[in-house]
Amino acid sequence: MEKKIILSGIKPTGIPTLGNYIGALRNWRLMQQDDNYCYYMVADLHALTVRNVPEELRQQTRSMAALLMACGIDPERSPLFIQSHVHQHAELSWLLGCTTYMGELNRMTQFKDKSAKHADNINAGLYTYPVLMAADILIYGAHQVPVGDDQKQHVELARNIAIRFNNAFGETFVVPEPVMPKFGARIMGLQDPEHKMSKTDTNPNGYISLLDDPAVITKKFKKAVTDCEPTIAYAEGRYGCNNLLTIYCACTGKTMDEAVKDFEGCGYGRLKGAVAEAVIAEIEPVQREYRRILDDREYLDGVLKKGAEQAAERAQKTLDLAFSRVGLR
Ligand code: TRP
């Protein structure tokens, strides 16, 4: 049986949050099964769409790669690479850009959000960001793209581009589909549980960074916003409580029913303590492994070099086919 191809990427800007981990990174690890072949990359080209400091980008890119390995990506099994090390992505992106309508890009909610946020730097890269992302996906023939829910629209655009290109030039690309975690796709902020947990939250108590100290994690959960209901339950409108229960389930593997039972007759103090403990148990080993890998320069460089070579081999094949389909060869 042919293996299913999986691809995903993450930008190297900042340290991922617990929300990124539960909604995406953890599933990257879980998808490395025998009937899948996974490619994982650090999307450094995408990071350039906001103003950047070169030395920081360099350092954060390596650090993100180390963190991905620490989260359980096994480079012996799944090529792990840096987007810019595989030059074919940017080339395919040009072809795809010529198959994408401005109307489609105008509808991208991330573009609208980011242009509102960076009103002084609405650059063309920010606008064509989803086209490069489509190239990332289509160049590997990915069947599935595990993403958090904020990237779903971009994967859907990649589907439409693939279908349109195939119709115009003949079968070239696999039509990918987004895969969202069954559970925990949207972990909410701890201070504002009606909005997604975000590392760009101006209040650091609103999010758990994957590299937060255990003591800091405990403190942030203690301060989490909840409500004044007397019981712990998963219920419509109880955003803060639902969010804590969801995090608890995600980190313990329990079902929501089991979780609610665990806290029968308890107050928020107990729940918050237990959630913090579960989160620490899940991410402490990740933190340890991260430090070990980041310290081993030679090993990390070797992994990324090999990953880029493996990726480029596959990418070049698709690029050759696409070039020839449009009449460039
Ligand atoms: N845009 C994604 C994000 O911000 C990162 C990304 C880049 C990506 N290329 C991708 C994700 C391809 C999935 C597939 O998180």
- Our answer on whether the CB atom of 151 is closer than 6 Å to any ligand 1 atom is yes
CATH ID of 4-184+297-326, from 1.10.150.20, 3.40.50.620, 3.40.50.2000, 3.30.930.10:
3.40.50.620
Neighbouring-strand partners of residue 209: 17
Rg of the chain (C-alpha set): 21
279 Cβ partners below 8 Å, 6+ apart?
18, 208, 217, 221, 247, 251
Mean pLDDT for the chain overall: 96
- Our answer on whether the CB atom of 46 is closer than 6 Å to any ligand 1 atom is yes
The CATH class of the 204-290 domain is: mainly alpha
- Our answer on whether the CB atom of 136 is closer than 6 Å to any ligand 1 atom is yes
- The span from the CA of 127 to the CA of 122, in Å, is 8
Written as six digits, the tokens of 258 are 């089991």
User: What was the pLDDT predicted at 142?
Assistant: 98
- Ligand 1 mean position to 76 CA, how many Å? 22
User: What was the pLDDT predicted at 35?
Assistant: 95
Pick the atom of ligand 1 nearest to 24's CA. 15
Pick the atom of ligand 1 nearest to 146's CA. 13
- Ligand 1 mean position to 264 CA, how many Å? 40
Pick the atom of ligand 1 nearest to 154's CA. 1
- Strand order through the sheet with 177-179: 80-82, 36-42, 4-10, 144-146, 177-179
Instruction: Identify the residue whose C-alpha is closest to ligand 1 atom 5.
Output: 10
Q: Where do the CATH 1.10.240.10 domains begin and end in the chain?
A: 204-290
- Ligand 1 mean position to 133 CA, how many Å? 6
Provide the Cα torsion 280, 282, 286, 289; round to 10°.
90
User: What was the pLDDT predicted at 78?
Assistant: 98
User: What was the pLDDT predicted at 259?
Assistant: 97
- Our answer on whether the CB atom of 147 is closer than 6 Å to any ligand 1 atom is yes
Closest CA to 188 of 226, 217, 154: 226
- Our answer on whether the CB atom of 139 is closer than 6 Å to any ligand 1 atom is no
- Our answer on whether the CB atom of 8 is closer than 6 Å to any ligand 1 atom is yes
Written as six digits, the tokens of 132 are 């490069």
Instruction: Identify the residue whose C-alpha is closest to ligand 1 atom 10.
Output: 9
User: What was the pLDDT predicted at 1?
Assistant: 76
- The span from the CA of 123 to the CA of 109, in Å, is 16
- Our answer on whether the CB atom of 133 is closer than 6 Å to any ligand 1 atom is yes
Which whole-number Å values give the CA distances from 63 to 10, 13, 276, 286, in the listed order?
A: 12, 10, 25, 13
- Ligand 1 mean position to 10 CA, how many Å? 5
Provide the Cα torsion 278, 279, 284, 286; round to 10°.
120
Pick the atom of ligand 1 nearest to 142's CA. 14
DSSP letter string, 209-261: BTT--HHHHHHHHHT------SS----TT-HHHHHHHHHHHHHH---HHHHHH
The model's pTM is: 0.93
Q: Where do the CATH 3.40.50.620 domains begin and end in the chain?
A: 4-184+297-326
- Ligand 1 mean position to 247 CA, how many Å? 23
- The rounded average pLDDT for each run of 10 residues, N- to C-terminus, in the chain (329 residues) is 94 93 92 96 97 96 98 97 98 98 97 93 97 98 92 97 98 96 87 93 95 98 95 95 97 96 95 98 97 96 98 98 96
**Which residues are known catalytic residues?**
114, 196, 199
- Ligand 1 mean position to 225 CA, how many Å? 30
- pLDDT tens-digit map of 295-323: 999 999 999 999 999 999 999 999 999 99
Pick the atom of ligand 1 nearest to 148's CA. 15
Instruction: Identify the residue whose C-alpha is closest to ligand 1 atom 13.
Output: 8
DSSP letter string, 142-198: -SEEE--GGGHHHHHHHHHHHHHHHHHH-S-S---EEE--SS-S-PBPSS-TTSB--
User: What was the pLDDT predicted at 48?
Assistant: 97
User: What was the pLDDT predicted at 149?
Assistant: 82
